[in-house]
Every structure is written in C-alpha cells, then in structure tokens.
Amino acid sequence: MKALVVGGAGYVGSVLVEELLERGYAVKVFDRLYYGDGGLDKVRERVELVVGDMRNMDSSVLDEVDAVINLGGLSNDPTAEYNPKANYEMNTVATESLAKFCKEVGVKRYIFASSCSIYDVGVEAYEKDVILDETSEVAPKAAYSSSKYEAERRLLSMMDENFCPVILRYGTIYGFSPRMRYDLVVNTFLKDVLSKGYMEIYYGGEMWRPLVDVQDAARAYIACLEADEEKVKGEVFNVVYANFRISELALRVREALREIGIEAEIKVDYGYKGVRSYRVSGKKIERILGYRPIVSVEESVKNMVNKIKEYEYTDFDNPKYYNIKWMKLLEEADEIIKITNTVFEAPVEGYHRTLKTIKR
C-alpha cells in the first residue's frame, strides 16, 4: 500500500513517515518545504518527495496512491492569525480540493489532521469547564480552529460509498521530531530550562490543555489507516493522552528533569491573559479502534533531552524551530529577494530596477 502524506516533512509528518516505512508502507510525501527537508534526512532515499503547494496541487500527485493522510497547512494559532487568508486557503479550501481529487481518481480513505482547539472555551467560561467529546457542540472563533472545523464539515459532507473521510482532532502535541519545534508547551518548557534554567507559566497555569506525544500521534494515523472501513468512515476521533492544567504540566516537566540531574525553576505570572482552556475525552478512539496513547509527558521529556543532544538542536534561538518566527523571516527574505533577484549569483543580463523607497 502507498500512502500520500501531505505535510510529510513537518513536525508530525516526519515522525509519521518513519513509522509508516517501518511498517512496510510505500510513502509519497507532498510538502512545500517551508522548513526544508531535514526532517526526512534519515529516510530521504526511501520516500518519493513531491515539492509543491497544497493550493495548486493537481490530481497527478495521487498517481499510484492508495490512501491520503493530510497534515498540511498552517499549524498553529499565531501563524493562522498572522495570515488568515493563507490559513483558510490551505487548511480549508485546499483540504476540500484534495478530497475532490481523491474522489475523481478513486482514492477512498482520506485521514485529516484537525485540532482539539475547536473545543476551546477560554478560562472565563467556568460553567463550560467540562470534559468534552466528539458529540459536544462547538463554535470555534479563532482563525486556526475555525478553518479546521469548516474543513471537517466539508469532508464529512462528501462521504459516500466511494469516499471514506476520517477526522482526527489532536490535543497539543509534545515530543521530539527530526523537524523539531520549540513553540509547543511541553517542548517550550524544556527548551527554556535547557537554555535559561527556568520555565515560565502565565495566568497561574490555571488553563487546561489536552496533550499527546508525537509518536502516539503518528500511531493514531496508522490505526485509522489500517482499521476496517465501517469503524472509521465519517468518524471524528479525539486523540489525547491526558488533560493537564499548565501548572501541573510544569511540575511534571520539572520532576522528569530532576530525575536525570537537571534542575529547573518555575516562574509564575498570575496576571490575566486571554488564553485557551479546554478538556477533552479520548475514550471513543480507544473503544472503537483499541488505540490508546502510551507515551507520558515525563518519558517524552527525558527522550527529548537525549535526542536534542544527539541531533545538536541546541541553537534554541534559531527561528526555524518556531513556526511564526520562521514564516515572518521567510516573508522578509522573500521581499528582499524580489529586489536583489538572487543572493550570490549575478542577476540575469539586463536586470535593473529603480527603487524610490524600500520598506523595512
């Protein structure tokens, strides 16, 4: 079986690709490579890589493909809020367009990466502070979560005897990836300790968050890929190891680090901030597919310490580890390249421009 992984060079995608290869799948990766292809370094010769943008993908990408796992698009709130138009085009419109291609060429199973952030109720809605499941009413407002929810609705409306959409709503992911990120809460805590000796929590750490390790996230995709159609067709599954208050999460990270000889201070800010807060149930996917996340926060933190040293990902200020910082840097570089035409090579013959002003 050949699986197309859209966004396969990303944080979750690069881990998923390795898991698929280990299980004997043929893998095609479609990715814009905003962050380069470093996440695929160890498997680069074993995958077919197609470089492109989701928004102008054509159906030929699906040649010889048996199933699609779509992790593509903009992947967090700051990036989505920074460019809502691109967020909507990638996360919603391109998600639907890919599904239409699947139906045209006969690719039946389509697994979509959604987000538990659609359940967000905020820290002030105490009456709504309950554990929510896939049947709970939701009304996401943020650009990222609303784009994901609309994509879900569009995919499910396309379901028929020839098309099997599956929706996975993920909690906040943590853990090591070859395409590492330090802008996810557990990873941020660890990065801060390794670089500054302390971690910071805001609003007293009162907010709730569902979390899951990146390896468990990959396993959930594979569980849905391998399940009988009648178990997953048109289903929405939450994927979460556990729900934690951010304050408890910081304590767990600190204790895990102490066990391996790393001391960490916790600094707390009790001032009000508009922060996300929500709790969700992951029982449905366990009941139907027998899938259950197994990698604890503590285990993941210890593994990250070792892997960060192994991969030498200790340049913690490098913007490539932070989605919004990297996107802004690429955007700035793009504006400069429009002026310079190339970096070190001489511009094409006859190239010249007269600029009245250069915006900085």
Classified as helix, coil or strand, 357 is coil
Q: Which residue has the tokens 């995958």?
A: 47
CB 179 within 8 A of CB 11: yes
pLDDT at residue 360 in the model? 45
pLDDT at residue 358 in the model? 46
- Residue 165 dihedral angles phi and psi, to the nearest 5°: -80, 145
pLDDT at residue 127 in the model? 64
pLDDT at residue 204 in the model? 93
CATH 3.40.50.720 is right for the domain spanning 2-175+210-241+279-297: yes
Longest Cα–Cα distance in the chain: 67
Q: Please name the residues in contact with 274: beta carbons below 8 A apart, sequence gap of 6 or more.
A: 122
- SS3 string, 87-116, reads HHHHHHHHHHHHHHHHHHHCCCEEEEEEEH
pLDDT at residue 355 in the model? 57
Closest to 238 in 3D by CA, of 301, 293, 183, 294 = 293
pLDDT at residue 345 in the model? 85
* Residue 287 identity (one-letter amino acid): R
Please list the pLDDT of the chain residue by residue as tens digits (360 residues): 999 999 999 999 999 999 999 999 999 999 999 999 999 999 999 999 999 999 999 999 999 999 999 999 888 778 888 899 999 999 999 999 999 999 999 999 999 999 999 999 776 666 667 999 999 999 998 999 999 999 999 999 999 999 999 999 999 999 999 999 999 999 999 999 999 999 999 999 999 999 999 999 999 999 999 999 999 999 999 999 999 999 999 999 999 999 999 999 999 999 876 678 999 999 999 999 999 999 999 999 999 999 999 999 999 999 999 999 999 999 999 999 888 888 888 877 666 666 554 444
Q: Which residue has the tokens 């849905």?
A: 224
Whether this prediction's pTM lies above 0.75 is answered by yes
In the numeric block, which tokens belong to residue 70? 């779509």
